[in-house]
Amino acid sequence: MRTDTMSERHTTAPAAHRPAAASHRHGAGPGGHDHAHDDHDHDHDHDHDHDTGHGHRSHGHSHGHSHGHSHGSSSELRTAVAAGITVAFMGLEFVGGLLSGSLALVADAAHMATDAASLGLAWWAFRQVRRPASGRMSFGHHRMPVLIAFANGICLILLTVWIATEAVTRLLHPVPVASGPMLAIAVAGLIANVVSFAVLAAGERNLNIRGALLHVAGDMLGSVAAIVAAVIIWFTGFVMIDPILSLLVALLLLRATASLLRESGHILMEGAPEGGEGPQIAADLVKAVPGVREVHHVHSWMLSEDRPHATLHVVVEDGGDGPAVVAAVKQRLRTRFRIDHATVEVELPGCCADGPPGDGAAARAA
């Protein structure tokens, strides 16, 4: 039976009043079982192994919570700095685009506006991750950056559609462009974008940062396109180059955004981590862990891109030690699949309360 880890609640008393350890007994007579909870800090790994007294029926929960506050604080600071730089140049570029008649500048300014909002949301998401887990949010807020990354992808798609529409309109109805002011503002915008990109790139690359980097990279491309267009218009008077380059930038952004949406959407849809699909986990555990006869009902997913989770049923060999098998299985999950949070249910042959597996994530020893 899959134990629903999404609803597990870990409630601890304040450190000043919490005893070092507590143990309690469930039930009475031979059917009861004991388990002890040791005092644990913010980073913890604790196992609960339950021997019900009915053969090998037991299950374990392994929780390896590595919150990475230093990385979160670094990402938070970098997004705040990049947002400030973006806001500072956004107004200048928009006004310059209107005065010069350049669609490339106006489109880039609009892109910078969405960047400012996106970077603000990314900063807010990193702050949310620091909030502790609660009864209603037992896993905390670690999925918030993934949600923001997906939202940024949607914004980029909408912005790309708008730029493409405006570009086609300019191709059909050309307008005069003042190449001098356009060039000066585009150069200033490029410098700002390069600085923002360097700030964001100087650290870890999670999905939230990748989404922010895509926004800023799009701005950089827009600024480069505006510079090239301004130079061509200055020397040739060919104003059609402005919407043509704007359309090219939109297509490049569309391709990059698809990857961000695909990866963040996979996590939001509880997809399995790459290389950690159910059938692979089942086959590996049967082969690598002594005493495991069969593994089925395997479900693996990601809370965030660096926090894979799993639940599974393990059938032990006759006379096998259930708690020892649970410990070995979770150790294998940690070392082979980087799964620090797992719920393992141990069963006797033919005693699965959930019935035979029907999802294909099962393996049996030869």
For residue range 177-207, list pLDDT tens digits in order. 888 888 888 888 889 889 989 988 887 777 7
Q: Which of 296, 300, 298 has the alpha carbon at shortest distance from 267?
A: 300
Query: Scanning the structure block, which residue is given the tokens 């600024």?
Result: 223
Distance of alpha carbon 262 from alpha carbon 268, whole angstroms:
10
Strand pairing category for 341-347 and 307-316: parallel
**What is the per-residue pLDDT across 223-258, written as a single tens digit (0 to 9) for each?**
888 899 889 999 998 989 988 988 888 887 787 788
More confident position, 203 or 51: 203
Residue 141 has pLDDT above 80, yes or no: yes
What per-residue confidence (pLDDT) applies to 366? 58
Residue type (1 letter), 315: V
What per-residue confidence (pLDDT) applies to 247? 87
Distance of alpha carbon 109 from alpha carbon 119, whole angstroms:
15
Across the range 57-69, mean pLDDT stands at 45
Query: Scanning the structure block, which residue is given the tokens 């900063």?
Result: 123
**What is the per-residue pLDDT across 98-136, written as a single tens digit (0 to 9) for each?**
777 777 677 667 767 777 777 887 788 778 778 888 888
Across the range 269-293, mean pLDDT stands at 93
145 contacts 129 by C-beta, under 8 angstroms: yes
CA triplet 314, 43, 71: central angle to 5 degrees? 115
What per-residue confidence (pLDDT) applies to 29? 38
Question: pTM of this prediction?
Answer: 0.64
* Confidence class for position 75, pLDDT limits 50, 70, 90: confident
Beta-carbon count within 10 A of 73 CB:
13
Beta-carbon count within 10 A of 89 CB:
25
What per-residue confidence (pLDDT) applies to 290? 92
- Strands of the sheet containing 307-316, edge to edge, are 45-46, 58-64, 341-347, 307-316, 292-304, 363-364
**What is the per-residue pLDDT across 80-94, written as a single tens digit (0 to 9) for each?**
888 888 887 877 777
What per-residue confidence (pLDDT) applies to 35? 39
Residues in the chain: 366
Name the helix (H) or strand (E) containing 4: none
What per-residue confidence (pLDDT) applies to 359? 57
What per-residue confidence (pLDDT) applies to 357? 65
Distance of alpha carbon 61 from alpha carbon 166, whole angstroms:
55
What per-residue confidence (pLDDT) applies to 285? 95
75 contacts 206 by C-beta, under 8 angstroms: yes
The mean predicted confidence, pLDDT, of the chain is 76
Q: What is the DSSP letter of 202?
A: S
